[in-house]
Structure 1
Amino acid sequence: MITMKYIFAALFLIVFLPATKAQIQMETRFPDIRDKKGSLITVNEMHGALANTNVYLDILKHIHGQQPADTINLFLEVPFSMAVWCNDFLSSGGKTLLPKGVYPSPEFWNQIVAQQIPAKIFGCDFEYDEQYKRNQSFVYLLRKTSDDLAAASMDTSLISAYIGLVNGFKLTAKDTRSLISQLQGMQVNAAPSLKARIGQMLFALNAPQKFGSGRDEFIYERALEGIALHYFNYENRINVLIHGVAHINPAYKNSLFNRLRNSKDSPFAGKCFLIGNVYLDCKNNSGIFQHETISSFSFYALAKDDKPVTDFFKTLKLTPQQVYFLPVPEFTSVHFSGLKQEELLGVYVHEAIVN
């Protein structure tokens, strides 16, 4: 039995998993998304599922095929500093190093470069956590900022000391407040490029620096802030959000998905769509759950609405070790609580992916 503790742990850890050999079987045409610029296409995931990389690349391949000249915004369940790092990798044409354990996998990023898919990455998750050893990308952005300050002959002693605290997982809220105060002062008279770098650093420093409750609320609020700061330019672009199942669940009133599609201040209100991942007896080998578990769940995971969905797709008796992209089945409230038929664009069914 998978406990809530392990599922919630799974919803934020970044893990390295190579892509499985499973092929994508297209049982229906990929939806036409050319009329969805400025909208948000959400994709749920089970962290650690073996075929995730294949599915994400398939989605991007189809979108790029329909809009080859357009940049695709990818809003991922990562810290802002990780988004900066991945954008640097893409801007270099894949010539710089990727973070260790990069999400969702190194192959994902290498294939975006190889297939020349224009993508811009955004994330606004928590930046730092001692218990789960999250600090790598935070240090990356701190060092970039320190280098830019040094090039402008500005004092880097405080940020250097702060990097040492982050590396050693000895950071306190007081340390962060002190650095924010200094950087705000430096930003006032800085040249435009340095002002922008300091602004990025301040955005990261203002993120929660410990995993805790209320993640959907702070991710939503920081997303709005990131949009206001032009870190996430959503207008006239295809926007794809990929987050763990609890954040996407349409049955949760306050899930990130529902905040984005229903809140009055959301730029995506009434413009959120879902491409669902449904996992049937699939292995999760990220080491997050209690054991090397075989899991079945959908975008309703952690809710009573989940079992009817997985039970429905199990009746199709699909071939194991394959991923199927299926049309939206006959729509009923029993199967798809809280969703309108036009909001669900299609479903990837992972059938017994275990290696």
Structure 2
Amino acid sequence: MFELSKSAIQKCKEELDCHVGSVVTDNAANVNKMRKLLEQENELKLVTYGCTAHILNLLAHDLEIDNIKEHVVNIVKYFRDNHYASARYRQEGEQRLVMPQDTRWNTMCNCLKTYIKNWPALMKICEVDREQIDVRVREKVSNLTLKRSAEDLLARLEPIAVALDKAQSDKCTIAEAVNMWKELITTLSNGRDALTAVRKRYDQVITQAHLLANLIHPSLQGKLLSEEVNNAMDYANERFPSLVPVIMKFQAKSPPFHAFKFSDFVTKSMSAVEWWRSHSNVLDSDVISAAQQLLSAVASSSGVEQVFSSYGIVHSKLRNRLGTEKAAKLVFLSKTINAHKMDVYDDTNDQDA
């Protein structure tokens, strides 16, 4: 994997004139080792780290309450697969019940939401049609302890689900991921076990590169880092020494970083990379390059996973003789066209608003 990654990075540089500055993967042991080997290659000058979305999914598993998932899934599965129960539910239920899927990480949260919201309808069916409904399902639906436990589990999982949706966006960077995890720590601070779990996962996924990116982000400015600022500066001194005095001016808002450049209007009108590029005429190119490398690093590998899904649609059983190069071009066109459609849709919504 190390050799394949290295050759792909070299190919990007030679054929596409594109410099790869960061590598994000899942957190399996073999790819963790690959990332370390890539980071040790001095000529590549890479920032490597694990996928935030993957760790958030693991955090959701850490916070599961014993047996609740199993019982809720049994109820949902019964009302989905049993002909009579399914027909009665369609008459009474407000929305379709959701079955959780391992490959779709937020579906457990959606399963709990639909179960709790439609619990009165399920309860009514079990009372009115008690002779036709399986007695074990009736007992589970009428079990108020199970319902309350499901509500407690949903309260734990919902903040993680919101963070997971953000992390899986192509635009979520490692700088923003730090604030996202900090907010999770605050939200889940009421439960000791939950707080311990989220801090453990935070330490697992947040690297010095994350902290430094957060520190130099024009709108985030490392405001939530506290003592971690020194950790970020140590990393900057080791990897990007020319960036250290610039960061100190950035923090002091001294020239060329005038106070008006940090206003909400300015920082929301452009990306963090564009903000730093606007200083190209007053800062050294290696400083701009370092800022761009850190601030363009995406938080998760979800974009690649979505490409795999698109590839599965293009290279289907009916089109299984497509060559690799042609299939890759078709996937590229598919993703580009869909992205364009989404941009048009967003623009239309903004005009309507």
TM-score (norm 2): 0.29
The structure with the larger Rg is 2
Structure 1 or 2: more strand by fraction: 1
Structure richer in helix, relative to its length: 2
> Normalised by the size of structure 1, how large is the TM-score?
0.29
- Structure with the greater relative contact order (CA < 8 A, sep ≥ 6): 1 or 2? 1
